[in-house]
Homo-oligomer: A and B are copies of this chain.
């Protein structure tokens, strides 16, 4: 009945959901990924934070609030564990305070996952981790289209004289030619900027951008069509900065921007990625220190769940 009984969450009928070691979804924790479709890995690095800091506790927070996730997703009409196997890989080894050493460590560890032909789901950490993660994706898959949900383009040249902060990952990735820019899209961008160039930079570099007000205006369904059209049949990597959501839906983050989106809208967008050839997913900038009652962490856990469901659906439809 299940794809593999070894890779199931702790049985909720014997161990109510508040019981047990807090892995993601209470899945098994192991380093051997040879039998699974999906590996969930924490990347608790936040040295690149330009404002509020503490996303290093993001993986712990998300795991803690993933206890309520269950097997069957009625919105996507798929039973996850009939079609996928998954595990919690634990966290990557990183070196807080040391950006470049850590980037190398992250790329190396992420590549260990990518190269085994599984789909990794990464929990940041700050958005700076997406750059070394994309380097690893590139190593395995070549150029990938970026599907980027965020309040910020994260295409800044640098900050304070440094070049690698949570506002720069995609500029660095762009410079290294590891993105398939022509099929990449940024969604939800909004909020005050240093200059007008910060707004035009996305399209200038070749990305498509749907900014926040435009997204409010067009609605989620139209946006899904834009994404599907833009990405087409290219290999894609999804990066979700939790500050895409309105600060009220994600208080636990570092650089909140008002005028954002609801949890339901975010769920719609992820569900709308159905059919795309996605090779990896990250969710970043979850900072439990500023969360309340787990609304941010719980939302992040659900986004990951919806992404897992996409993979399950794909396996179900094309086993």
Residues of B within 8 A of A247 (CB): 263, 293-295, 298-299
Chain B residue with the shortest CB-CB distance to A302: B258
Contact string against B for A residues 176-192, beta-carbon threshold 8 Å, 1 for contact and 0 otherwise: 00000000000000111
Residues of B within 8 A of A101 (CB): 161-162
Instruction: For the complex formed, measure the closest distance between the CB of A200 and the CB atoms of chain B, giving whole angstroms.
Output: 9
**For window 239-267 of chain A, which residues contact chain B by CB distance below 8 Å?**
246-249, 251-252, 255-260, 262-264, 267
**For window 264-298 of chain A, which residues contact chain B by CB distance below 8 Å?**
264, 267, 289-295, 298
The CA-CA distance from A157 to B21 in the complex, in Å, is: 27
Chain B residue with the shortest CB-CB distance to A102: B160
The CA-CA distance from A258 to B73 in the complex, in Å, is: 13
Residues of B within 8 A of A95 (CB): 160-162
Residues of B within 8 A of A318 (CB): none
Residue A88 at the B interface, CB < 8 A?
yes
Of the candidates B44, B72, B159, B260, which one forms a contact with A13 in the assembled complex, judged by CB atoms under 8 Å apart?
A: B159
A–B Cβ pairs within 8 angstroms, 17 of them: A14-B160, A18-B51, A18-B52, A21-B90, A29-B29, A46-B53, A53-B54, A64-B64, A68-B255, A74-B191, A97-B97, A248-B248, A248-B249, A248-B262, A251-B293, A258-B264, A258-B302
A44 lies within 8 A of B18 (CB): yes
Residues of B within 8 A of A52 (CB): 18, 54, 57, 289
- If A19-B42, A19-B90, A73-B192 are given as contacts, then 17 extra A-B residue pairs at C-beta distance below 8 Å, sorted by A number, are A12-B194, A13-B159, A14-B93, A16-B56, A16-B96, A19-B92, A21-B22, A21-B23, A21-B91, A49-B97, A54-B289, A70-B194, A71-B195, A74-B196, A75-B213, A248-B262, A248-B263
Contact string against B for A residues 6-21, beta-carbon threshold 8 Å, 1 for contact and 0 otherwise: 0000001111111111
